[in-house]
């Protein structure tokens, strides 16, 4: 009798639902709006991410815009869903950094979404943030397709890797970090309850997404160049 009751309980017991889908690598769906996030698109298809740093300027990776005319780059700004919401706009100008994997896109018209400020340089030997918030619409694991429609986030630490040179940060590893499609996306630090842009996703430094270690171009190291282009 006891065995019969146990079987009946198992049959009617509710199945536990999973938590947020893992993504970026080892993260989950975005838990907040991130009004400065931008999806770079060609004919409506996402190919890179970016960050609004002025009402009419977005920063991304140089390799994301290489070979593309500005008029061919569409952007959806301010939405965590790359297919709807936010503001749809278009680039009218592209400015690439002479050496770093960094580019600035001027928008057709200013948007109303709040931009993110570029983080100031950290005075040595000042405090170094233990974790960075990484955002993107990239693959959630090796071979996982299609990429997610909703933005994902993951908190990742610095990694020691000689592949990251001057003005770069190696971020992620141990199953937490970026993957293909996260190119151009932000690495954020939090200061006083406000997000600051600390880096731009440049390239993988590990061979598999399950590692998640990527080189991010440090935006603090290029503040002067950014300010000279966008003004202020």
Confidence grade of residue 183 (pLDDT, cut at 50, 70, 90): very high
The pLDDT of residue 125 is: 60
The model's pLDDT over 100-135, given as tens digits with 9 standing for 90+, comes to 999 999 999 999 999 999 999 876 666 777 899 999
Residue 14 pLDDT greater than 50, yes or no: no
The pLDDT of residue 175 is: 86
SS3 state of residue 77:
strand
- CA 10 from chain centre, in angstroms, equals 42
SS3 state of residue 23:
coil
- Find out whether the peptide bond into 125 is cis, omega within 30 degrees of 0: yes
Residue among 119, 95, 116 at smallest CA distance from 34: 116
211 or 113: which carries more pLDDT confidence?
A: 113
- Give 45's DSSP letter: E
Residue 17 pLDDT greater than 60, yes or no: no
The residue assigned the tokens 């869903």 is 81
The pLDDT of residue 4 is: 38
- Are 40 and 75 a contacting pair, CB within 8 Å? yes
The mean per-residue pLDDT over the stretch 147-153 comes to 95
pTM: 0.87
The pLDDT of residue 210 is: 72
205 or 210: which carries more pLDDT confidence?
A: 205
- Are 74 and 44 a contacting pair, CB within 8 Å? yes
The residue assigned the tokens 């991010």 is 216
| Structure tokens belonging to residue 203 | 């390239």
The mean per-residue pLDDT over the stretch 186-209 comes to 92
The pLDDT of residue 26 is: 84
| Structure tokens belonging to residue 135 | 């955002």
What's the length of the chain? 232
The pLDDT of residue 24 is: 73
SS3 state of residue 127:
coil
Q: Where are the alpha helices (DSSP H) in 49-174?
A: 62-65
How large a percentage of the chain has pLDDT more than 90?
Answer: 72
Contacting residues for 197 by C-beta, under 8 A, at least 6 apart: 51, 53, 59, 116, 117, 118, 119, 186, 187, 188, 219
As a whole number of angstroms, the distance between CA 232 and CA 229 comes to 9
Residue 1 pLDDT greater than 50, yes or no: no
| Structure tokens belonging to residue 169 | 């940060």
Alpha-carbon distances of 39 from 65, 83, 86, 108, 120, rounded to whole Å: 13, 9, 10, 15, 25
The model's pLDDT over 24-66, given as tens digits with 9 standing for 90+, comes to 778 899 999 999 999 999 999 999 999 999 999 999 999 999 9
Contacting residues for 44 by C-beta, under 8 A, at least 6 apart: 74
Residue among 26, 8, 65, 15 at smallest CA distance from 154: 26
* β-sheet bridge partners, residue 225: none
121 or 94: which carries more pLDDT confidence?
A: 94
């Amino acid at each position: 009798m006891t065995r019969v009751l146990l079987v009946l309980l198992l049959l009617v017991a509710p199945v536990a639902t999973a938590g947020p889908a893992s993504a970026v690598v080892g993260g989950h769906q975005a838990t907040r709006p991130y009004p400065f996030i931008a999806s770079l698109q060609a004919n409506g298809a996402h190919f890179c991410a970016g960050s609004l740093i002025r009402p009419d300027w977005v920063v991304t990776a140089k390799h994301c815009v290489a070979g593309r005319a500005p008029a061919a780059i569409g952007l959806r700004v301010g939405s965590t869903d790359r297919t709807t919401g936010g503001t749809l706009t278009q680039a009218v100008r592209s400015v690439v950094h002479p050496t770093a994997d960094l580019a600035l896109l001027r928008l057709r018209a200013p948007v109303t979404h709040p931009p993110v400020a570029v983080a100031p340089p950290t005075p040595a030997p000042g405090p170094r943030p233990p974790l960075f918030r990484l955002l993107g619409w990239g693959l959630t694991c090796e071979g996982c397709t299609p990429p997610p429609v909703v933005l994902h986030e993951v908190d990742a630490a610095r990694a020691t890797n000689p592949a990251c040179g001057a003005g770069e940060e190696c971020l992620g590893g141990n199953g937490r970090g970026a993957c293909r499609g996260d190119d151009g996306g932000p690495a954020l630090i939090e200061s006083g309850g406000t997000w600051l842009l600390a880096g731009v996703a440049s390239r993988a430094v590990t061979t598999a997404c399950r590692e998640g270690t990527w080189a991010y171009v440090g935006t603090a190291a290029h503040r002067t160049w950014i300010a000279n282009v966008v003004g202020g």
